[in-house]
A and B are shown apart, each in its own frame.
Chain A
Amino acid sequence: MGAYDGETVTRRRLFTGGALAAGGIATTAFALPAVGFALGPLFERTEPRMFQDVGPVGDFNPQSYVPKVITIDASVGEAGKSTVYVRKRDPSRDTDHLHQPYIAISNRCMHLGCPVRYVQASERFICPCHGGVYQFDGKVAGGPPVRPLDRFETRVVKGRVQVGPRFSLDSHLHRFKVRDPSNHVDGLWQYIYPSRPTT
């Protein structure tokens, strides 16, 4: 009951509510920037990868992959480098519609991200961690990986092969925006593992 007839909000209630509201505003005022600070990188694009030189066109052939080292993140030294397997596109063998003059395959396993290596004798990419195996074109041949190995865009400038941004592929070698390893992209899976603002 209020101090007079018809009072709907007592002085005590008003002040209690006001104090709580002021406390809430103060808390939000420091919590929101802190949370935004921590979550900021989720909504920023990761530094776009420039095209990097991996050697003259003469280094590469359509029959076998040549391992080259590229820099993913220059600020972290050795940890920011990665191996990319490069070969010349073979029109009779590569029936994809990716329009890449050279095929540059990432060594990041699409199961959980371990580094795969190319074995020429079996023409397979093999992962040391959990037994993932990929065919010559990077499609999954066996084991737990969920999609073909990622590739990088390629181009030729003045007789030298350059490797650019990464892209992901579904099981029919259709191009997708970069996804993490372990993320399916076939059919409805592409919505269950959405592309993020960072890529």
Chain B
Amino acid sequence: MKLLPGPLRRRRPAEPDGRPAAVPGDGDLRRGHDALVREREKEAERQRRREAALEVPISVAGWLDERTGLGPFMRGLLYRKVPPSNWFYTLGSATLFAFLSQAVTGVFLAMYYRPSATEAYTSVQHITNDVFLGQLVRGMHKWGATVMMVLIFLHLGRTFFFGAYKYPRELNWIIGVVLLVLTMVMGLTGYLLPFDQRSFWATVVAVNLNSSGPIIGPYLADFLRGGAEFGATTISRFYAIHMLLVPGLMAALIGAHLYLVVKLGVTAPPWMKAEKARELAKEEI
């Protein structure tokens, strides 16, 4: 098991070394000598404890690894080779972090939010005005949604302009586009939940936009409203889609997205490739 590099690896506890043999002499000298020995023993004990403390995470990791075989997997994940990259390559991770932030703040908002047409507005006012740090958590969720959209488009732009969507990564591009659409669905369904005038009428418009699609549009609108009119089922429907259905789909697809990133590796920036090609060309001449 070689989970961690060099200095953190399992070591034998150090022997208390250089312990001098007891030398007969006069009392003072002997007392001084005893104190020195005690000091050294204490130091050795401290050293042993430090070593033992260092062992704890290693033995926990070892315990897990023996039972899961995660070691090689984690090594493959964390120590895989990546091309020389730059800050643009962090946009995907930033998007993932925005998603996680939305998930966490969303879970905590759900502790106070009531998804009913008559109570939604007052419960959101309660979160904003009364709950400790409620304004902050709601603000993080609200602005985090916009941040996530912006980051997705920057990440999409990086992928496009670096040509990272090409063979063999087309499937990851498709998964990414589905994730983009699902994020938009999150934005649409989340917008209704404060249930103020703005969110209500914006959602009326959004549902009627869906209705404008030929043939299936009117049925899609009925599905979203849970009937022909905005009613009691509409907001609970939007809430279930917003916090159960779509987040579950997104988590699964993000897993697939990351798996493919690790499996296929990261593309080098286009200019790196160009340089390589020139070197090759020189060699070939």
Contacts and interface: CB of A to CB of B under 8 A. Distances in A.
Interface string B195-231: 1000011001101110110110111011101111111
A198 interface: yes
A145 to B, nearest CB: 11
Nearest to A189: B214
B123 interface: no
A112 B229 contact: no
A180 B221 contact: yes
Interface in A179-199: 179-183, 192-194, 196, 198-199
Greatest chain B CB density within 10 A among A46, A77, A113, A192 is at A113
Contacts of B226: 41
B232 A76 contact: yes
Interface in B165-214: 195, 200-201, 204-205, 207-209, 211-212, 214
A183 B228 contact: no
Given A41-B227, A182-B211, A79 B117 contact: yes
B47 interface: no
A183 B212 CA distance: 6
Contact of B200 (A42, A79, A111, A199): A79
Contacts of B215: 192-194
Interface string A165-180: 0000000000000111
Contacts of A129: 201, 205
A132 to B, nearest CB: 12
Contacts of A122: none
Contacts of A112: 204-205, 208-209
Contacts of A199: 228
Interface in A25-55: 38-39, 41-42, 44, 46
A183 B117 contact: no
Given A179-B218, A181-B211, A183-B212, A77 B227 contact: no
A194 B117 CA distance: 29
B239 to A, nearest CB: 14
A193 B195 contact: no
A193 B229 CA distance: 17
A80 interface: yes
A76 B208 contact: no
B231 A178 contact: no
A182 B227 CA distance: 17
A163 B37 CA distance: 102
A73 B217 contact: no
A196 B219 contact: yes
A63 to B, nearest CB: 30
A178 B228 contact: yes
A67 to B, nearest CB: 18
A76 to B, nearest CB: 4
A194 B217 CA distance: 9
A75 B208 contact: no
Contacts of B195: 79
A49 to B, nearest CB: 9
A180 B212 CA distance: 8
Contacts of A194: 215, 218
A52 to B, nearest CB: 15
Interface in A110-152: 111-115, 129
B128 interface: no
A104 interface: no
Contact of A183 (B207, B218, B227, B232): B218
Contacts of B208: 111-113, 180-182
22 contacts: A38-B223, A41-B226, A42-B222, A46-B231, A75-B231, A75-B232, A76-B231, A79-B117, A79-B195, A80-B117, A80-B229, A112-B205, A113-B207, A114-B204, A114-B205, A178-B228, A179-B218, A180-B218, A182-B211, A194-B218, A198-B227, A199-B228
Given A80-B117, A112-B208, A196-B228, 7 more contacts: A41-B226, A42-B223, A46-B228, A46-B231, A112-B204, A129-B205, A183-B218
